[in-house]
Structure 1
Amino acid sequence: MMQRPFPALVFGLFLVTVSGAALADCNGVAQAGVVWRRCAFDGQAMPGARLTGAMLRDSSFQRADLTGADLSDADGYRAKFISATLVGARFDRARLIEVDFTRADLAGASLRDADLRNAKLVGASLANADLSGAKLGGADLHNADLSGARWTDGARLCGPRSVGECH
């Protein structure tokens, strides 16, 4: 008689119950609080997506279109938004530590009070973006366009030729 792998099943259920965390469903609907951990959405079109409070850790959105998306309060630790279109997107209070925004278009985006420590923003467009209260310690802004951006102090606007730093 064949034995079922009952102990492994019980062990698996036990882990889910103890951790209390939902497993990532990379096919889940784009909605507030979605858990998309270690998922790939490269090249996907998600304009206007409402991903407030989403778990996006280690996920990839390379060349994705998230124009006007709301990612406020999201946890995007080590997420990749390389060459993504994020025009007018909201990342207010988002945890974006070590995120990669290389060559991303964040023109007019709101990153108010976002944690961008050690983020890679090389060649990114942050023109007219709002960085009020953002934490940029260790962030790489090499060749980033900051023209017209509201700086972290919330008062200063970067000049028209601000590349790599706010002038």
Structure 2
Amino acid sequence: MSEIQTVPESRRFLSALGPGLAGALSVTLIHEGARRVLSHPPRMDVLGKRSLKKGLRWFGVRPSHGRRLHRQALVGDIISNSLFYALVALGRPRRPYLRGVLLGTLAGVGAVLLPPFLGLGRSPRRAKRSTALLTVAWYLLGGLSAARATRTV
């Protein structure tokens, strides 16, 4: 009788966090860089601050302000996006780019359409069409970055 070698689920998930972090960092870096140079960039940092404030208030905690709130929102974005993009590295190792494209596109479309429904103010799609397209493109880039990172693990 032959033994089948299986990797424990917790170990697979931990190894998927590396590519997830690569995807999250690429999205965060492009957002932060673009908001400093573009006239109408997607302001996912603003949505991050709003969601952090809303969550903290729900728990009865007084949220921070200014730069401290901005840093906390960035850390929260990196953590949540890392967990999301880690899904790219889970599953069959033969198709990470397909998962990266699907998950990145899904995240981008969600970032464009969901903010008003979540009580986070108006969505980026109402600002300019180019803003919405950049949002989807950048999250897609994050999915592709996570997929590429699976090839190096």
Q: TM-score scaled to structure 2, two decimals?
A: 0.21
- Greater gyration radius: 1
Highest RCO, 1 vs 2 (Cα 8 Å, sep ≥ 6): 2
Q: TM-score scaled to structure 1, two decimals?
A: 0.20
